[in-house]
Homo-oligomer: A and B are copies of this chain.
Amino acid sequence: MNNNYSCPLPIMRHKNIQLSHGAGGQLSADLINKIFLPRFTNEILDRMDDQAVVTLPEGRVAFTTDSFVVDPIFFPGGNIGELAIYGTVNDLSMSGAKPLYLSASFIIEEGFPMEDLHNIVLSMESAAKRANVKIITGDTKVVNKGSCDKIFINTSGIGITPSGLDISGNHLRIGDKIILSGTIADHGMAVMTSRNGLSFQSKIKSDTAPLNDLVETILKITSNIHAFRDPTRGGVATTLNEWAKQSKVGIQIYYNTIPVRPDVQGACEILGIDPLYVANEGKLLAAVPENDAQKVLSAMRKHELGLESVIIGEVVSAHPNLVAMKTALGVNRIIDMPVGEQLPRIC
């Protein structure tokens, strides 16, 4: 399906995943030794115990988990494997932590093509290198045909949170500026338009990317960041609503400041979807005290993943727990949490 990788599929006894590949016996060992270990190899994983033991620098440890069930598993701009690496790297980064180690746990449907698995694993290898993290422990389960849809991947991760940082969705303060690191809705619309045969003339690509380096860049400017979050499922609207409720503040944003690619905007209009609610996988929102906002913004704009960073709004004392957006017509409307499901299996 997705063969533009330089590393050929190792010679395996089977071209498709068998139940025995998940049974803990010889075929499990074969799968681990030929597909996973050569790609993820490092001195910790290679010990092949049921757990990894690492020495961490002193300090606070950030810990997170995410299961990925995206459909389709290969989409414009990425696949489920790199999404699983970047998703967990980003969740760690949003606490200000430096991501260090990841686990990878696979649930695979019997009959899944070995070549697809290999390509997913290759892209996880590249993604882990790009994000500068190591995969140090893992697990593989195989379920009968029809008991899962192709492949699901869980990644969990640990990182070190520098002392002095206390970044949380609970810490927004009146006057904070809300900074967004670039265009919204790219990931969600890339998945949507590639699903069910929908296609558009323009090539909408997922923005999946590791945000840890951008976060490090920001934290070199100031450690005085109140909150970071990557607006994935539910999009920017959901993240801002969560923040408003967690911190019991109001958030005011401005419609005309929020960057959306024209082709993404077009696809949203055709499908009747509001880009504010669409998942991103390589963008962050930051709540930054007003005094630091301009220098943070300047630093972000010099980073390859923040070139289009903008201030989209601020934290206000009016309408606590609510997010309001000033529209193009000058009307201030409430941006609510979504109730229903716009886009299932987006990540």
A36 within 8 A of B: no
Instruction: State which of B23, B51, B106 has its C-beta within 8 Å of the C-beta of A95.
Output: B51
94-145 of chain A: CB within 8 A of chain B: 94-95, 97, 101, 103-107, 136-139, 141-144
Closest B residue, CB atoms, query A277: B25
Could you tell me the distance between the alpha carbons of A142 and B233 in the complex, rounded to whole angstroms? Answer: 12
Q: Give the docked Cα–Cα distance between A54 and B61 (Å).
A: 5
| Listed stretches A149-157, A201-209, A322-330; interface member | A149-157
Asked if B60 contacts A54 (CB within 8 A), the reply is: yes
Interface residues on A, range: 35 or more
Within 8 A of B (CB), among A217-253: 229-230, 232-234, 238, 242, 246
The reply to whether A147 and B144 form a contact with Cβ atoms under 8 Å apart is no
CA distance A25 to B18 in the complex (A): 37
Is A63 interfacial (CB 8 A cutoff)?
yes
* Listed stretches A254-262, A294-302, A313-321, A334-342; interface member: A334-342
A163 → chain B, closest Cβ, in Å?
A: 10
Decide yes or no whether A12 CB sits under 8 A from chain B.
no
**Contact A339/B105 with A51-B97, A170-B47, A345-B143 known, Cβ cut-off 8 Å:** no
A344 interface residue (CB < 8 Å to B): yes
> Which chain B residues border A101 with CB–CB below 8 Å?
63
Query: Which chain B residue lies CB-closest to A144?
Result: B344
Known: A23-B340, A65-B104, A340-B25. A56 touches B53 (CB 8 A): no
A63 to B60, CA, bound (A): 15
Q: Does A69 contact B (CB under 8 A)?
A: yes
The chain B residue sitting closest to A88, CB to CB, is B51
Decide if A48 is an interface residue (CB 8 Å cutoff).
Answer: yes
A304 contacts B by Cβ under 8 Å:
no
A158 within 8 A of B: yes
Copies in the complex: 2
Inside 8 A of A345's CB, which chain B residues have their CB?
A: 141, 143-144, 147
Per-residue CB contact flags for chain A residues 51-91 toward chain B (1 = under 8 Å, else 0) read 11111101111111111110100000000000000000001
Tell me whether B51 and A92 are in contact (CB under 8 A): yes
A91 partner residues in chain B, CB cutoff 8 A: 50-51
Q: Are B20 and A69 in contact, with the CB atoms below 8 A?
A: no
- Bound CA–CA A61/B62 (angstroms): 12
Q: Is A309 an interface residue (CB 8 A)?
A: no
Given A50-B64, A69-B141, A103-B64: A233 and B156 interface contact (C-beta under 8 Å): no
Q: Which of B28, B65, B141, B337 contacts A156 (CB 8 A)?
A: B65
Q: Is A42 engaged at the interface, CB distance under 8 Å to the other chain? A: no
Contacts of A169 in B (CB 8 A): 47-49
A110 CB to closest chain B CB, in angstroms?
A: 8
What's the Cα separation between A209 and B104 when bound, in Å? 24
Which residue numbers of A lie inside 8 Å of B, CB to CB?
18-20, 22-29, 47-56, 58-69, 71, 91-92, 94-95, 97, 101, 103-107, 136-139, 141-144, 146-149, 152, 154, 156, 158, 161, 168-170, 229-230, 232-234, 238, 242, 246, 337-345
Could you jot down 19 A-B contacts, CB within 8 Å?
A20-B340, A24-B233, A24-B238, A26-B337, A27-B340, A47-B170, A48-B169, A49-B169, A49-B170, A51-B95, A54-B61, A61-B158, A63-B101, A65-B154, A66-B105, A143-B344, A147-B148, A148-B148, A148-B152
